[in-house]
Amino acid sequence: MSMLTVAADYATAFLAQPPNPGPQPPPGLENFGNSLISWIKWGVLVAGMVGILASAIMVIVGRRGRNEVAVQGFMGVGYGLVGLAIASVAAVLVGAFAL
């Protein structure tokens, strides 16, 4: 291969690459975006706490004669913990697939 052919191959490969810029917030919205994400995180924590406490109440109330309520309470704790686990790794999951 000649030097000209190698240079042409490299130039073609370089020029054929589409641009792939990283994510960047619109001007002036970076602080708003961070605030919005922090508010949603707070809401998830409050909802998780309320859900797990409600499930605990269902277990307590369903102890005598209401077995289906207790079972639903136990299942609710599992769903609450899974939801909180997904929320806690949301940034990692989005970062893994977005870039």
- CA-to-CA distance for 43 and 27, rounded, in angstroms? 26
Residue 91 vs residues 24, 74, 96: alpha-carbon distances, Å: 16, 28, 9
Q: How many other β-carbons are positioned within 10 Å of the β-carbon of residue 36? A: 11
Whole-prediction pTM: 0.66
Q: Does residue 18 have a pLDDT over 90?
A: no
78-95 mean pLDDT: 88
**Local structure of residue 17 (DSSP, 8 states):** S
Q: Does residue 99 have a pLDDT over 70?
A: no
Query: For the chain, what is the domain count?
Result: 1
Domain that holds residue 64: 37-99
Return the half-sphere exposure (C-beta side, CA atoms, 13 A cut-off) of residue 70.
9
